Amino acid sequence: MAATPPLQSSSSSTASRKNLSYYSYIYNNKCPKFPSLLFKTKSQTTISIRIRCDAQNWSAGTFDDGFPNLFIPNAQGIRGQHVAFLASFSSPKVIFEQLSIIYALPKLFISSFTLVLPFFPTGTSERMEDEGDVATAFTLARILSNIPTSRGARIWLLIEAKGFTQPAPGFAAAIERFYFGDNILPCFESGIPLLKNRLQELPDSDKIAIAFPDDGAWKRFHKQLQHFPTIICAKVREGDQRIVRIKEGDPRGRHVVIVDDLVQSGGTLVECQKILANHGAAKISAYVTHGIFPNKSWERFESDNGGHPGAGLTYFWITDSCPLTVKEVMNKPPFEVLSLAGSIAAALQIGQLF
């Protein structure tokens, strides 16, 4: 099978190409289809990283007993290369398959290894409340912390973790930052800059207000969105029911964007939408970094049909951190996918491999 090509330079200078350190990208066939990434090297040469999601990078079959039968076709061709693996941990089965490849790659005499993990699944919703609760996020972090050292002894772990850049007090992912061992260098990035750029493009950008569905979301994101008017919702108990109420802020006449780190069933977002519409919001949209949507729960979110906030959302922005969801909601209003490709390209430069 043909070797994976190096990055393609837009410069016609052979000399400048020779001076570049190339990533030899190993992409699995379950990853999101990111577009090409363009960025500058330290020598100011423009590099195009062509993201490929095909079966040429590694193949996965199964033995008769159901366990994976894995093969890396270009094992010799990546010797001496800087290798990055774009992972998609969408299920325990897939995690096992991809961890097997991740552990094998650094042993192929590569110069360095970078794991790009847009979604750290076990760190999403677990709570340590009772004695006996098991922190599965810690388990996965320990597994990743023991990735074998490559020849260059450089292992980067790039995580688009719950939509945050800097840890906030009381924020669970801040603890997860310290779950990782000293073997690796975890780099946590945020999807919020993508949202801010998109909001600036809207014709009613001066009418935007940000709503947080609970205090936890406010703690995670308010510093990155502090320039917008803020609305904080909260769940209050009325009898046997927990009902969403507006704790702080005024949505009247505003295009209100509900911001959270992830969505599963979407029940809380729906309740927030209803209370914001009842209090006079002109439009309501939503943003989550990770659209998990088990059991097709995305189907409960409908378009507002041109400005009827009680009927649906104007936009529902998600990133492509969960590729299976992206495949289902693509080109289905109100959903709009914000690509992490540029963010990943920028973060890869932190390693200064170029």
Same domain, 123 and 263: no
pLDDT for the residue 60: 65
Q: Is residue 299 part of a domain?
A: yes
CB atoms within 10 A of CB 157: 22
pLDDT tens digits for range 106-165: 898 888 888 888 888 875 555 667 788 888 888 888 899 899 987 765 566 666 554 333
In terms of residue numbers, what domain contains 38? 8-190+341-351
Q: What percent of the chain has pLDDT over 90?
A: 36
Distance (Å, rounded) from C-alpha 231 to C-alpha 209?
A: 7
306-330 mean pLDDT: 92
Domain match, 197 and 316 both? yes
Query: For residue 186, which phi and psi values (nearest 5 degrees)?
Result: -75, 135
Question: Is the pLDDT score of 329 beyond 90?
Answer: yes
142 with 209, same domain: the answer is no
Q: What is the mean pLDDT of residues 301-308?
A: 89
With contact defined as beta carbons under 8 Å apart, do 48 and 41 qualify? Answer: no
Whether 220 and 269 map to the same domain: the answer is yes
- Distances, alpha carbon 96 to alpha carbons 17, 100, 287, 331, 346, in Å: 37, 6, 30, 31, 28
**For 30-62, what is each residue's pLDDT tens digit?**
444 443 343 333 444 333 333 333 334 556 678
Could you give the number of structural domains in the chain?
A: 2
The pLDDT of residue 134 is 81
Give me the CATH number covering residue 253.
3.40.50.2020
For the entire predicted model, the pTM comes to 0.80
pLDDT digits (tens, 9 = 90+) for 69-107: 888 877 888 888 778 888 888 888 889 988 998 899 889
Residue 272 has a pLDDT of 96
Does the pLDDT at position 191 exceed 80?
yes
Residue 69: which H helix or E strand, with range?
strand 68-71
Quick: pLDDT tens for 215-259: 989 998 999 999 999 999 998 877 777 789 999 999 999 999 999
* Cβ within 8 Å of residue 319, ≥6 positions away: 118, 160, 191, 194, 289, 290, 291, 337, 338, 339, 340
Token digits of residue 110: 């590569």
